[in-house]
Amino acid sequence: MENEALSNSDRRDFLVKLTSVVGGAGVAATCVPFVASMNPSSDVLAKAETEVDLTGIPPGGLRTVAWQGKPVFILRRTPDEIKEAQASNGGSDPEPDSQRVKNPEWLVVIGVCTHMGCVPNKEGAGWTCHCHGSQYDDSGRVTRGPAPKNLEVPPYHFVSENKIVIGKVA
């Protein structure tokens, strides 16, 4: 009886496979905390919201604020700039201006080039990224590559006429 069990190679193969699978699963599960430890920590996540007072930005003026460590452009657009932004749908990533603003006077976009993450500079109408030459219009829409997408609009809402909170929709 004992001999039979020992010489049963099917049983042995099964046990080898089973222990390999269990061992492999254990190794994979052990990797989880190590990989997760590299994700943003709680204190980093706590910086998720920023309140901005808009008073003091003149028409046509730009203010750059930090949100989650990233620059956010707040542009107070003049009527001419609004008209021009509404006249087109942008370039390679078409999107109407009305979908990119909550109030046409205020454009709020993340100032991080969608190509490689540089901060574009305000140059005349729109922005130019000096890293790889991408250009954006006054609605933050890409008008010249290599950037694939428009400047991202962060989640934000107006808490009063002159105050916004970035990081939360309402």
Partner 1 sequence: MKTKIINWIDQRFPLTSFVEHDLTGYPTPRNLSYWWNFGFLAGFVLVLQVVTGIFLAMHYKADVSLSFDSIQHIMRDVNYGWLLRYMHAMGASAFFFVIFVHMARTLYYGSYRAPRELLWWTGQGLLLLLMATAFMGYLLPWGQMSFWGATVITNLFRATPFFGDQVVIWLRGDFTVGDATLSRFFSLHYLFPFLIIGAVVVHLVALHTVKSSNPSGIDLADHDNIPFHPYFTIKDLYGLGLFLMLYSVFVFFIPDSLIEPANNIPANPMMTPNHIVPEWYFLPFYAILRSVPNMVGGVVAMGLSVIIFAFMPYLDRSRIPGGARHRPIYRVQFYLFMIDMLVLGFVGYYPPTDQSILIGQVATLCYFGSFFIVPFLSKVEERWLIKRGLPPEVMALIESEKHEISKKGGKL
Catalytic residues: 132
> What residues between 104 and 133 interact with partner 1 by CB under 8 A?
114-121, 129-133
Separation CA 170–CA 167 (nearest Å): 9
Q: Between 60 and 117, whose beta carbon lies closer to partner 1?
A: 117
Contacts of 78 by beta carbon, 8 Å cutoff, 6+ apart: 59, 60
Beta-carbon contacts of residue 54 (< 8 Å; ≥ 6 apart) = 74, 76, 106, 162, 163, 164
Decide: is 91 part of the binding site for partner 1 (CB under 8 A).
no
Q: Is 41 in the site for partner 1 (CB under 8 A)?
A: yes
Beta strands in the chain (DSSP E): 50-53, 62-67, 70-76, 106-110, 121-122, 127-128, 135-136, 142-144, 156-160, 163-166
Q: Which of 3, 7, 30, 39 binds partner 1 (CB under 8 A)?
A: 39
Give 27 or 38: the residue with its C-beta nearer to partner 1. 38
Sequence-ordered list of residues with C-beta below 8 angstroms from that of 42, at least 6 positions apart, any chain = none
Is position 42 an interface residue for partner 1 (rule: CB under 8 A)?
no
148 near partner 1, rule: CB under 8 A: yes
Of 17-25, 39-47, 50-58, 80-88, the window that binds partner 1 (rule: CB under 8 A) is 39-47
By CB under 8 A, name the binding residues for partner 1: 35, 38-41, 44, 64, 66, 68-71, 114-121, 129-133, 145-148
